Structure 1
Amino acid sequence: MAQKSILITGCSSGIGYAVAHGLKDAGWRVFATCRNPDDVERLTGEGLESFCLDLTDTGSITAAVAETITRTGGTLDALYSNAAIALPGAVEDLPTDGMRAVFETNLFGLHELTRQVIPVMRAQGHGRIVQCSSVLGLVPMKWRGSYVASKYALEGLTDVLRLEMADTPIKVILVEPGPVTSRLRINSIPHFERWIDWKASPRAAQYERSLLDRLYTDTGPDRFEVPPEAVTEKILAALASENPAPRYFVTKPTYIMNVLRRILTTRALDRVIQKG
């Protein structure tokens, strides 16, 4: 049986890094992409096939897809869209250009990549498209408006794509992590410092009491936090199943919030989320 291939975005650290190594160990041919050439060199040194893919650059997306299908001889069994950025801050303090920057990576670039991969999968007669959402694609949380908005949009876009692809052999799947060990918090700091003028905000005191400490202080693992390898297990299940589920939940908070959002009123759910 020919070795199956998968293209993964956002492999420099965290979930993408763990999934790339986990799938390689499971026998997949993994194309582990990331934006930074230094990370590409590091991943290559670790035995992964790696090259650059910047979701904010259509030319980079096109080049990465072309590189992938050149290496495989024109096929691609699966795509796992993992890359995402976060811009913390109160919604009233989010510049629209900052929101656009989040959507360029978390939605628009992901969408462009998906569109470029679908014709390859149509031509070969099979394929899996796996999108990494979040518990914050199911329920909201304060200070995370741009990330929540992008993941809500991803949920809707992927649901529609799944319905539209039902008459094809291409399966479309959402993976729903919750608190997973990653560098998302650390990586969000430059975006926060670029876009959020928190000192001029009417919520400046709230930033000082809550967000700044959480953003800049490493307080150790969150409650219920799991290692990124937990996501790898779900990805492997989604890729192996003949009839994969539309959604794969990873952490306890994700399972719980998925139930609560369906059985509670909006106000009751708001109270649960406010309490943390």
Structure 2
Amino acid sequence: MKKSILITGCSTGIGYVCAHALHKRGYQVIASCRQLADVKRLQDEGLTCIQLDLADSNSINNAVRQTLELTNGKLDALFNNGAYGQPGALEDLPTDGLREQFETNFFGWHQLVRAVLPIMRKQGYGRIVQNSSVLGFAAMKYRGAYNASKFAIEGWSDTLRLELMGSDIHISLIEPGPIETQFRANALNAFKRWITIEGSAHEQQYRRQMDRLNSDTSSNAFVLPAESCITPLIHALEANKPKIRYRITTPTKVFAVLKRVLPARALDKILRRAA
């Protein structure tokens, strides 16, 4: 019998390649996208795809209902992946901009997990995989909103793992570093929506950030393709003892070590340059 999985944020990047890879592996993949045009595109590519906007409570409820109709009331796994980055210095970011970041990156995930957990408890098993980031444990300047949402997901997931011990519902975190996706394009749109450059104390840095976000490809020497997340995801879904954290890319692995061994001020100096 096919294992079923609901994946959020499948229009591009990690969600897109993982949805296709698991479909080829024999999973019953329920891919989801925020935009209807993307839903139609993935359907044309042979995937089962539904609309799910993580910032819309009704959309989440409808997506869960559709998913369970497609899977005959069961769900083996959830891969929470849909998210975006809100750039900008915290002092320049209106509270509504931060709130909007959390609606998609945190509160939507919370609602979705709460909706599927009763199904997993009833069937006696399940896997929940949360796509976090190196920025979920190592903060970098001008990424404060995204840092905060991913730090929150890390703590939330750790808590949930403790609360589900003994249930055979496993919680894993994937922590990618620089991945080649359309993340920058979405971040640029969010930046323009909420940040006023003119007159900011960070105006010069913002001009440089705009150049980076406008680029089609990353300039990071350690960037990996989105496909690098497929193998860790499969392990989290299929291993008898899945890892708590899957660290992907060299920067993630290096900063995980540095955070353990360096004093905070020494780490700050490195993170300041890395940003």
- Give me the TM-score of the superposition, normalised by structure 1: 0.97
CA contact (8 A) 1:10 1:16 kept: yes
Percent identity between the two aligned chains: 50
Other structure's SS at 1:175 match = strand
Residues 203 and 107 of structure 1: is their aligned pair in 2 closer, same or farther, counting only changes over 3 Å? same
Tell me the distance in 2 between the aligned counterparts of 1:204 and 1:37: 36
Query: What's the secondary structure of 1:56's corresponding residue?
Result: coil
Q: How far apart in 2 are the matches of 1:130 and 1:67?
A: 20
CA contact (8 A) 2:180 2:217 kept: no
Question: Which residue is 2:145 aligned to?
Answer: 146
Matched, 1:215 2:213: yes
Question: What's the CA shift for 1:76?
Answer: 0.3
Is the CA contact 2:9–2:34 (under 8 Å) kept in the aligned structure 1? yes
Q: CA deviation at 1:13?
A: 0.1
Please state if 1:48 is matched with 2:47.
yes
Cα deviation for residue 167 of structure 1 reads 2.3
Post-superposition offset of 1:215: 1.7
Aligned residues: 274
Structure 1: unaligned runs, 5 residues or longer: none
8 Å CA contact 1:181, 1:221 repeated in 2 = no
Corresponding residue of 1:235: 233
Alignment partner, residue 269 of structure 1: 267
8 Å Cα contact 2:32-2:51 kept in structure 1:
yes
TM-score, structure 2 normalization:
0.97
Q: How does 1:129-144 map to 2 (within 5 A)?
A: 129-144=128-143
Which residue number in structure 1 is paired with residue 244 of structure 2? 246
1:39-72 Cα offsets, whole Å, 9 max, x none, are: 0000000000001001111111111111111111
Rounded Cα–Cα distance in structure 2 between residues aligned with 1:263 and 1:187: 34
* Gap change, CA 1:225 and 1:106, over 3 Å in 2: same
Structure 1 runs (4+) greater than 6 angstroms displaced: none
For residues 217 and 74 of structure 2, the distance between their equivalents in structure 1, rounded to whole angstroms, comes to: 44
Task: Give the structure 1 partner of residue 196 of structure 2.
Answer: 197
Aligned to 1:174: 173
- Please tell me whether the aligned partners of residues 180 and 218 of structure 2 are also in contact (alpha carbons under 8 angstroms): no
Contact persistence 2:9–2:82 (CA under 8 A):
yes
Q: Does 1:96 align with 2:95?
A: yes
Identify if the C-alpha distance between structure 1 residues 25 and 262 changes in structure 2 by more than 3 Å, giving closer, same or farther. Answer: same
Q: Secondary structure at the match of 1:200?
A: coil
What RMSD, in angstroms, separates the aligned Cα atoms of the two structures?
1.0
Partner SS state of residue 172, structure 1: strand
Q: Secondary structure at the match of 1:31?
A: strand
Unpaired segments ≥5 residues, structure 2: none
